[in-house]
Amino acid sequence: MKDKTSKIALFLLISVSFFSCTLTRRVPENRSLLMQNEIFENGKKNSTEAVHNQLYQQPNSSILGYRLRLHLYNLAKPNADSSYQAWLDKHPTTHRNLTAFLSEKQVGRLGKSFAVSGFSQFLKNTGEPPVLYEENRMNRSVIRLKNYYFNQGFFNTTVQTQVDSIGDQKTKVTYQIETGKVYVIDSVSTRIFTPALDSLYKKNASKALVVPEKVYNSKDFEAERKRITTSFRNNGAYYFQESNIHYDVDTINNNHKANIELIIDDRTVKSGDTLVQVPFKIYKISDVNIFTDNTSKKVENIADSINFNNFNIYSANKLEYRPKALTDAIFITKGSTFSDFRRVLTSRSISNLRIFNYPSIEYIEDQRDSTGQSLVANIFLTPRKKMTFNPSLDVTHSNIQDFGIAGNMGLIIRNVFRGAEILDIGLRGSVGSSRDMANPNNVFLNVSEYGIDTKLSFPRLVFPIKTESIIPKSMLPRTMMSFGLFRQQNIGLDKENFTGIVNYSWSPKRNTSYSLDLLNLQYVRNTNPSNYFIVYKSSYNTLNDIAQRYEKDGDYFDSKGDLAIQDGRANTFINDVLAGQTSVLPGTSDYQNVRSIEERRLRLSENNLILAANISFTKSSKTDIKDNNFYTFKAKFESAGGLVSLLTKSNKSNVNENGNHTLLNVEFSQYVKTEIDFIKYWDLGRQQVLAFHTFGGIAIPYGNSNSIPFSRSYFAGGSNDNRAWHSYRLGPGSSGAINDFNEANMKLFASAEYRFNITGKWNGALFLDAGNIWNIFDHVEDEAYTFNGVKSLGDLALGSGFGLRYDFSFFVFRFDLGFKTYNPSKPEGEKWFKELNFGKVVVNVGINYPF
């Protein structure tokens, strides 16, 4: 063992020495490679990204200290095509033979082919050239550092530099920064030339960001400019711009204190050949004109018009919209003060109708107003096509389906009832392959689904009573009614699924939204329940083993001596065991196993009726798709079966042999369910991101149910969950995932992922996934399956691994390798690190990031 350790240490030492030497392979003589920048602020090392980003030169990028891209660049031949020409000159016979076979021009072009220079060019493009130390750039960095600290109130900052050689052609630059004492705002005065703006400013002065006793920071001044501009433009100052604001800062003889004067000039306008300053005016809206198509803004093209609630609506043809459907989406009203906020809200609201492209809104001065304080708002709308046919073909991947091909034929009909309603009819079908499905005939495409989905959406709340006072139209409310009928044909139970949903959604703020399913109906009918033991092989194997040990000479077996499935003899054996008609005695572990198998069979093969209502809340700080410093919080609460239970309790005829109430001869599910989901991203700079995800959910059956429907339960494992386990192959608890599809009614999960750029569009990741599922408050009593308080947190499975991702811009292809780091189902002493090897790695292929 010691000999092996010595050899490994020697190998690592030689490797480090070799790669260290090759770093400077492409560094010219008399030049040096910039290896490190160090910044000391008032004697203390400063490693913050914001400060280091001020430097004009950064060392070559590294992954965990290894400069991969620099090594790739160094592997490339500097002048591959020139080397090729030199090789031809040294081998004239070969040159002549090539020329005879091709031509001189083609032989010359070979020097630029991939076979000769293409690989080297690939290494150069993928790699990163060495960053050479430059004194000029260092001096420019000093100036930028001074400006950076000046903007934070350190007006007397000094920066000293030191350049050190840390090896052959390797350089380290140290920046010693002395900030001095920070300046604090002593007083703030104003000089606003337009009286109307002065009044507006004083009205909102309490919201000012530049105030006495606050440390001087230029970001506060920028934010204050935006705040003042927003306030003025939301209160009628149509022509006001941020450039009209400037500050005078006086720091002379003030003992590190600054006196600030806020100056807002009058508006500059052109009068003849000269520029003059005039006071800003506060504008009101005198008319709102809505043009339902862009061509109709020309008066001669208007064929239809109407005045509705002080809105003028024009159309080049017969008006195709109910006036209220248009005006409800517009927040710019006649007689109101000009407001940028109303313009933005109107644009969002019109876009939310989904029957127009993004609108164009313009304001022009109303020449009829002699005071010059009126604006006419013209809103130009461009309708989308009345009907859109959207066929599509997609390659899919999910936690269960390894590969799938999905086709969809969608028809969208807009403005169905002239109130901006949208009808979406979709026919869809898919075929796929799943390793998790029973597949006795080894069929590759063993999963299929087809069906129809119809959605009707309204740009308002469709409800019997008025809801405007609770959810105003500024929250962009929407109603969606959907109905779906699908049929799954797998090598298994097969299902028919009917769904019906009435959903309301609204957004109180731009980053906050609510979704309410007033009705969420799902009816699942298993069409081949007799196939249960073909699909769930682990249950069958356990049952077959018990039957062979107790009833070797019975009528339960087929010609091969196994428990027969097709003619129902397996079910007969279960019934006989539970009726005490076999030698399997009640109270024994085998009897308990048979009873558990039967309970699970009934649960997974019975038809399900779920009549639920739920509400979801989402809040996110994400600004756009490229934002890598944000959080998203989601919470959901669902209740099922409560209303149906009240309606059926009084009718005793709706009670089945199990003593449970039924609706349409089907036991309905009754449970409450809640979930919390949190995602946080930290942007570490230089294309590095730390991402964190946590989830917690619990569903508690009551009343008519002692378990949760399979479709509403939780599972663990898979490419978007704990990647060290396959889907449905983790948990519940420490049970060891003995079933084919392991699920439960409680779940805890957390994941952390460090993402970094390797080169170009290639990215890498290191991740840790922790989580599990448990049974709680249901029919399962085995402690290995159930959550039993804090001690059950020891059942949290830990997976670790690394991944490779390629960014196609519109989606990300993901390849992750997961290793079981802590396996709670293993005996004590074997839980940690025993499966941390490539022989037991789990390969995950996915589309886009896991969260």
- Number of alpha helices (DSSP H) and beta strands (DSSP E) in the chain: 17, 33
**How much is the pLDDT for 442?**
57
| Residue 90: pLDDT band with limits 50, 70, 90 | confident
**Residue 757 near residue 731, CB atoms below 8 Å:** no
Task: Return phi, psi of residue 350, to 5°.
Answer: -65, -40
**How much is the pLDDT for 644?**
87
**How much is the pLDDT for 645?**
87
Distance in angstroms (rounded) separating the CA atoms of residues 785 and 517? 32
Judged by DSSP in three states, 15 sits in helix
**How much is the pLDDT for 677?**
98
**pTM of the complete model:** 0.82
| Residue 13: pLDDT band with limits 50, 70, 90 | very low
Per-residue pLDDT, averaged over 675-703, amounts to 94
Q: How many C-beta atoms surround the C-beta of residue 682 within 10 A?
A: 15
Q: What would the pLDDT profile of 340-396 be if each residue is shown by its tens digit? A: 999 999 999 999 999 999 999 999 999 999 999 999 999 999 999 999 998 877 766
In this model, does residue 82 exceed pLDDT 90? no
**Residue 306 near residue 313, CB atoms below 8 Å:** yes
Integer-rounded Cα Rg, in Å, for the chain is 36
In this model, does residue 653 exceed pLDDT 70? no
Would you state the torsion angle of the CA atoms of residues 466, 469, 474, 479, taken in this order, to the nearest 10 degrees? -30
In this model, does residue 337 exceed pLDDT 50? yes
Q: Which H, E and C letters describe 485-543, residue by residue?
A: EEEECCCCCCEEEEEEEEEEEEEEECCEEEEEEEEEEEEEEECCHHHHHHHCHHHHHHH
Quick one: what percent of the chain has pLDDT higher than 90?
Answer: 59
The amino acid sitting at 80 is A
Crossing angle of the two packed helices 195-203 and 218-233, in degrees rounded to 10: 110
**How much is the pLDDT for 421?**
96
Q: Which of 23-32, 109-118, 332-341, 416-425 has the lowest mean pLDDT?
A: 109-118
Given phi > 0 = left and psi -120 to 50 = alpha, else beta, which region is 582?
beta
| Closest CA relative to residue 498, chosen from 482, 520, 483, 517 | 483
Q: Which of 31-40, 138-147, 461-470, 818-827 has the lowest mean pLDDT?
A: 461-470
Kindly tell me the sign of the dihedral angle through the C-alpha atoms of 429, 435, 436, 442. Answer: positive
**How much is the pLDDT for 226?**
96
| Residue 437: pLDDT band with limits 50, 70, 90 | low
**Residue 375 near residue 322, CB atoms below 8 Å:** no
> For 606, which DSSP code?
S
Give the strand order in the sheet containing 245-250.
Answer: 184-192, 257-264, 245-250
| Closest CA relative to residue 774, chosen from 762, 788, 760 | 788
Crossing angle of the two packed helices 119-126 and 68-75, in degrees rounded to 10: 160
Average pLDDT of every residue of the chain: 88
Q: What would the pLDDT profile of 246-289 be if each residue is shown by its tens digit? A: 999 998 877 899 999 999 999 999 888 888 999 999 999 999 99
Per-residue pLDDT, averaged over 586-591, amounts to 88
Q: What would the pLDDT profile of 133-187 be if each residue is shown by its tens digit? A: 999 999 999 999 999 999 999 999 999 999 999 988 999 999 999 999 999 999 9
Q: Which of 155-164, 599-608, 628-637, 791-800 has the lowest mean pLDDT?
A: 599-608
Crossing angle of the two packed helices 2-22 and 68-75, in degrees rounded to 10: 70
CA distances from 769 to 302, 718, 728, 825 (A): 63, 11, 15, 16
Per-residue pLDDT, averaged over 193-200, amounts to 95
Q: How many C-beta atoms surround the C-beta of residue 791 within 10 A?
A: 9
Judged by DSSP in three states, 409 sits in strand
Q: What would the pLDDT profile of 477-529 be if each residue is shown by its tens digit? A: 999 999 999 988 765 668 889 999 999 999 999 899 999 999 999 999 888 88
**How much is the pLDDT for 81?**
57
Output the DSSP codes for 72-92.
HHHHS-TTHHHHHHHHHHH-H
| Closest CA relative to residue 771, chosen from 731, 826, 816 | 731
| Residues 6 or more apart in contact with residue 304 via CB below 8 angstroms | 314, 315, 317, 318, 319
E strand intervals along 131-266: 158-165, 170-178, 184-192, 245-250, 257-264
Q: Which two tokens stand for residue 161?
A: 């530099």
CA distances from 67 to 35, 59, 229, 684, 733 (A): 10, 10, 47, 18, 43
Q: What would the pLDDT profile of 20-63 be if each residue is shown by its tens digit? A: 447 888 899 889 999 999 999 999 999 888 899 999 999 998 87
Q: Which of 583-597, 645-659, 744-758, 820-834 has the lowest mean pLDDT?
A: 645-659
Tokens 């038809």, residue located: 607
Q: Which of 591-595, 688-692, 752-756, 823-827 has the lowest mean pLDDT?
A: 591-595
Q: Which two tokens stand for residue 133?
A: 């130390």
